[in-house]
Structure 1
Amino acid sequence: MIRTAARDRIFKGLLLAAAAAIILICGGMFYSLISGAAPAFDHFGFFRFIASSDWNPKTGSESYGALPFIAGTVLTSLLAMLFCLPLSLPVALFTGEYFRGRRIAKIIGTVIDLLAGIPSIVYGLWGFYVIRPVIVDLGLSSQGFGILTASVVLAIMVIPYAASLSSEFISMVSRELKEGAYSLGGTRLDVIRRVVFPVAGSGIFASYVLALGRALGETMAVTMLIGNTNLIPTGLTATGNTMASVIANQFGEADGLKLSSLVAIGLLLFIITAVINLIGRLILRKFR
């Protein structure tokens, strides 16, 4: 009995150490980003750095600002979510409500999980050889690179994530509630509109918030397709950069103030993504 109690205390101690390690790692990441970004914030000022659109690496007249990359990140992510919604929600209803438990729903669910696990660079290659030529053929862009191309591929990347989560919440709606609606003469569409969406609505919304958080930090696929110019996008077919893509493109050759500015952009992306995911988690907790 004594030996069992000692083992139990050791096991609990190991679990506590693992949990503490996660907190320390997260805190260490945040601290290292703040330390690396401090020179840029001290030199330019925090709000000036965020609001400036200058990106001039020329020695002696260096000037860096995050606004073009914040704009590119927000634009591509929101546009991707706009494309994602009309495709992922029907898939979620198909697997979570209309054909729930049937073989076809399980097959589609497996395909969704498979798509969610594909590396982003594969999506980038697919977008380069498929989506980009389509954009060129439609006459929207002479080269096919830009905000629109990156957003389409980004939407395809987050569709499986949003559809899978939404399907889970739709399938969690009480069967008794739906049967009660049917007994009152409701059709399948009535049940979805008046029972499924009101009950699972907050969970579905949280799914898209979490998908948005994932889209904000996407790097390789966007880097391959957005055009990589350090300018505020002037339209959907204009080229630009996101916060993640500018770091991926320029971090290897950066030093001094430029390196600190890239770390500052990474810190901003870290904070934005953390806040978005926190909001999604809070909504999920409320739903559950």
Structure 2
Amino acid sequence: MQPAGGKTADKVFRGVAYACGILILVVLAAVFLFLFFRAWPLIGGDQKANSDTISSFTGGATNNFWGYVLPLLFGTVLVSILALLIAFFISIGIALFISHYAPKNIATALSYVVDLLAAIPSVIYGLWGGLILVPAIYPFWNWVSTYLGWIPLFAGPAANPQRTVGTVAVVLAVMILPIITSMSRDIFLQTPTLQQEAAYGLGATKWEMIKLAVIPFGKSGIVSASMLALGRALGETMAVLMILSPGLTYSIKLLQASQNQTIAANIAAQYPEANDLGVSALIGTGLILFLITFVVNFAARKITEKASV
């Protein structure tokens, strides 16, 4: 029989857990309402003034909000997806090396390095990208443009300096790599020993054991880690602002400058000189980014539930 004190502690803990869960929903709703009401002048205000404001942001290219935000949304998704594609397989490889191949002392050292990379502020990555990577990566991108330029993604000529979507995607990949690696490593280490030994008992090699036991066990965690990293890439501001030469097109030419821009970097760039209507327009783009991030996390939740079945 459970002591009375234990029942009281269970009730208190349950109440605190419920309160924390409700608090998260309240904060999420508060953020949405803040964005919505601050963006309301863009929705229900003087549309002529709004058109003039958006026209000033785009240099006269468009005076329509959707004509303004959709290219930014395209650039945000393009950069983030490219970063995830670059980082995903490298991260999984590092996580498997740490969890199943590296000697213990090397695995411990690599784990510390990965965790340290995850803690570096984005502005440091931006400085590294702008001052070191941009000039250093030009010869490689120029080679890619020369020999693979027949692929639309790599159509040239390669810009010099390389303040392009391709370079930003590499920097963001480095930023999100430790997130995927750290979470995947922890999940791989939790693979039940009996499952691994059963695979060995059936005559599997180490790689076959990983393919049959480790990766299926960690599938849902890998998806969660990837979506968390994608969310980080979608909202990244300073690194993109410090590296990318902005544009407002739907271009997929990764090696040419002034093609794309992201929502978060655009807000940071335009905010200091924006008037009240300009701030409302920028917050409206932030509301779109908020909704996209919510959709990404919702989709990740559904994918994770299917992967764990």
TM-score normalised by the chain length of structure 1: 0.84
> What is residue 23 of structure 1 aligned with on the other side?
25
1:216 aligns with 2:234: yes
Shift of 1:20: 4.7
Q: Which runs of 5+ in 2 are unaligned?
A: 1-6, 143-157
- 1:169 matched to 2:171: no
- 1:195 maps to 2:213: yes
- For the Cα contact (< 8 Å) 1:68–1:233, is it kept in 2? no
Q: Which digits, 9 at most, give the CA deviation of each residue in 1:168-226, with x for residues without a partner?
A: 22122211011011111110011112222222222212221221111111110011111
Determine whether 1:156 maps to 2:174.
Answer: yes
CA contact (8 A) 1:135 1:141 kept: no
Question: 1:273, CA displacement in angstroms?
Answer: 1.2
Contact 2:79 2:169 in 1 (8 A): yes
Provide the residue aligned with 2:74 in structure 1.
Answer: 71
Aligned partner of 2:119 in structure 1 is 117
Is the Cα–Cα contact under 8 Å of residues 57 and 63 in structure 1 kept in the other structure? no
Q: Aligned ranges for residues 48-127 of structure 1 at < 5 Å?
A: 56-57=55-56, 62-64=63-65, 65-99=68-102, 102-127=104-129
SS in 2 for 1:143: coil
- Following superposition, the deviation at residue 43 of structure 1 comes to 6.6
Question: Measured at CA, do residues 235 and 41 of structure 1 come closer, stay the same or move farther in structure 2, by a change above 3 Å?
Answer: farther
The residue correspondences of 1:275-286 to structure 2 (distance < 5 A) are 275-284=295-304
The 5 Å alignment of 1:227-266 reads 227-238=245-256, 239=258, 240-266=260-286
215-224 or 269-278, which deviates more? 269-278
Structure 1 unaligned blocks of 5 or more: none
Further displaced range: 176-185 or 132-141 = 132-141
8 A Cα contact 2:54 2:278, kept in partner: no
Structure 1 position 41, deviation (Å)? 3.4
Amino acid at match of 2:78: L
One-letter amino acid of the structure 2 residue matched with residue 209 of structure 1: M
C-alpha RMSD of matched pairs (Å)? 3.3
Q: 2:162 aligns with which of 139, 144, 153?
A: 144
State the match for 1:206 in structure 2.
224
Q: State the distance in 2 between where 1:91 and 1:6 align.
A: 46
Change (3 A) 1:172 1:280: farther
CA spacing shift, 1:237–1:181, aligned 2, 3 Å: same
The Cα of 1:88 is off from its aligned counterpart by 0.7
Residue 18 and residue 178 in structure 1: after superposition, are their counterparts in 2 closer, same or farther (change >3 A)?
closer
Give the partner amino acid of 1:71.
Answer: F
Give the % identical residues.
36
Secondary structure of the corresponding residue to residue 39 of structure 2: helix
CA distance in 2, matches of 1:40, 1:283: 35
Structure 2 counterpart of 1:129: 131
Amino acid at match of 1:56: S
TM-score (norm 2): 0.79
SS at match of 2:200: helix
Please tell me whether the aligned partners of residues 42 and 284 of structure 2 are also in contact (alpha carbons under 8 angstroms).
yes
Q: Which amino acid aligns with 2:95?
A: A
Q: State the match for 1:39 in structure 2.
A: 41
Cα-to-partner distance string for 1:95-131 (whole Å, 9 max, x where unaligned): 222238x121111111111000000000000011221
Q: What is the aligned length?
A: 280
2:268 and 2:224 map into 1 onto residues whose CA distance is: 29
Q: By how many angstroms is 1:283 displaced?
A: 4.7
In structure 1, distance between residues paired with 2:93 and 2:102: 12
Cα distance change of structure 1 residues 99 and 280 upon mapping to structure 2, 3 Å threshold? farther
Q: What CA distance in whole angstroms lies between the structure 1 residues aligned with 2:133 and 2:227? A: 25
